[in-house]
Chain A
Amino acid sequence: MRALRPALLALLIVLLLALPVLSEALRQPAAIGLATQVLIYAIAAMSLNLILGYGGMISFGHAAFFGIGGYVTGILYSHFAEHSAFLGLVPGTNDMLIVLPLAMLISGLMAAIIGAFCLRTNGVQFIMITLAFAQMLFFLFVSLKTYGGDDGLMMRRRDVLPFLDTRNDTNFYLVCLTLAGLWLAVTRGVVRSKFGLVLGGLRQNEQRMEAIGIAPYPYKLVAFIIAGMGAGLAGALMANYLRFVSPGMMNWTRSGDLMMMVILGGVGTLMGPLLGAAAFVILESWLTTLTENWQFPLGLLLLALVLFTNGGLAGLLDRLWGRTR
């Protein structure tokens, strides 16, 4: 099974790279859009998994940073389109090479501020306070009429990249694929580093960590900021994909979706969030064609997975391979 793993990973990479060709050959043009969404949500879920799965911080407000990334993109675009400036100071832009890093930076800053407060609490309090902060931001953007309020902001076109036409869905898919791959590599590096070792230790027993001279707070805060940046990146990509941002991006149900992806895929595993995002997006799009109340069967499925797989899809796959070795 261990020998099989690299082969399966290689197969997955080939499939993802070949997806544009495959979708054309199989006459499934919608597949590209679906796959793009999977990859974007995978980045967001991976970032949540860093704090939830590896660090044991159960954040119920992660969509806040997803939304902030989206709004950075939307607001910069709207100023670009109107030839105006944010607060009369910062000119708008539609350059993806500026927008994406800026979305990550601002999401990271917000994560630093929100995390600085939230991480003084633990357990249920932490869950509630992250939720509260996210809802505060949600209502802030609902009431922010300058930027569309409840209706959100439209983008007429995607942000641009040099040498690559992002209006082409295949190109945009490849951009998302590259970034998701990069984020996976970053996550892998971080969880195996000394920082990652500390983070995992904090999940297991904070008292022990203090007793060996490691103060939990700064490590948890840095992990929270990294996670915020990942969600911000995903949000900026989602804004570009949909060419639309709205307060719904940071609603608590969205935080719940991200959590569901992580749990569905496998908490605290590298590939789990990717599998979870794929399962969630594909199931959602399939179930919505069957029934308006798609959440109900999805909920049942999640229940079954949690009860019977013991470690989400990643755990299930591990055990399947273990048996058919």
Chain B
Amino acid sequence: MNGPPLLKVSGIAKRFDGLVATDHVSLEQNAGEVHALIGPNGAGKSTFVNLLCGSLRPDAGTIKLDGADIGHLSTVERVHRGLSRTFQMTQLLLDYSVLENVQLAVQSQAGHSFRFFKSARYDAKAMAAAMACLVRVGLCERAKVRVADLAQGERKQLELAIALAAKPRLLLLDEPMAGLSALDSQNMVALLQSLKTETTIFIVEHDMNAVFALADRISVLVNGRILMSGTAAEVKASDDVRRAYLGEGDV
């Protein structure tokens, strides 16, 4: 890969009242690559995700997207720079239909929404773009359904469709497999695999099978620090990782 990495995190740190949640983490990700972040519970994965997408501000370090420093930007500004995320615990607009949830994300990309009198339903272009995202994640038949009536697996798919509607350059997935049945997980892995060619994915995940199937590069986070970065084979082979994360016994 030539040129600067799409994402370059340099020495970011975050502490909460003496607890160091993120301890000078640095990592890079090239465009087109799937980078996975794994680590035991309490390793600081969520804090790192929140630092990346702007819910938290780092105490030190820089975050660069395509060479531009975004570490001081708000979540909203980062979205418009092309950093889009999904949530581990789904954050959806429950009273709205599936389509409306995606439509809002499309609308946000098209500019401000200070449009007061024309019905939002008449924006055929936005509707079509939203529908395309639903088709992409296989949810188009549920477009008119209220989100409150969706099953958990479908909600995860919708999270993904909304994130895609923002046309991200970097898609940040926060535990997309969490809470999914075995079958739903398989489908999600297949879906993410098909997305690899469209966007760059940074994934935080507990499900090892999913991570090994998807990731080009894996970083292991332990106690707020990157223990190692490498390919799936290298991570599997590492004794350090085994000890720190996969447990003392056999894998």
Contact = CB atoms under 8 A, between A and B. Distances in A.
Contacts, number: 91
B123 A194 contact: yes
A214 B104 contact: yes
Interface residues of A, number: 24
Nearest to A215: B76
Interface stretch (A67-75, A197-205, A242-250): A197-205
Interface string B76-107: 10011000110100011111100010011101
Interface stretch (B23-31, B113-121, B195-203, B222-230): B113-121
Most chain B beta-carbon contacts within 10 A, residue among A194, A195, A207, A222: A194
B53 A192 contact: no
A222 B75 CA distance: 21
B119 A193 contact: yes
A318 interface: no
A208 B113 contact: no
A210 interface: yes
A297 interface: no
Contacts of B87: 207, 211
A205 B92 contact: yes
Say whether chain A's binding surface is mostly helix, strand, loop, or mixed.
helix
Contact of A201 (B53, B74, B104): B104
A211 B119 contact: no
A222 B119 CA distance: 18
A204 B96 contact: yes
A3 interface: no
B105 A197 contact: no
A213 B108 contact: yes
A108 to B, nearest CB: 14
A290 to B, nearest CB: 40
Contact of B96 (A193, A201, A215): A201
A211 B116 contact: no
Given A212-B104, A213-B109, A196 B120 contact: yes
A91 interface: no
Contacts of A210: 74-76, 79
Q: Which 5 A-B pairs have the closest CB atoms?
A: A213-B79, A212-B105, A204-B93, A208-B91, A194-B115
Interface of A: 189-190, 192-198, 200-201, 204-205, 207-215, 219, 222
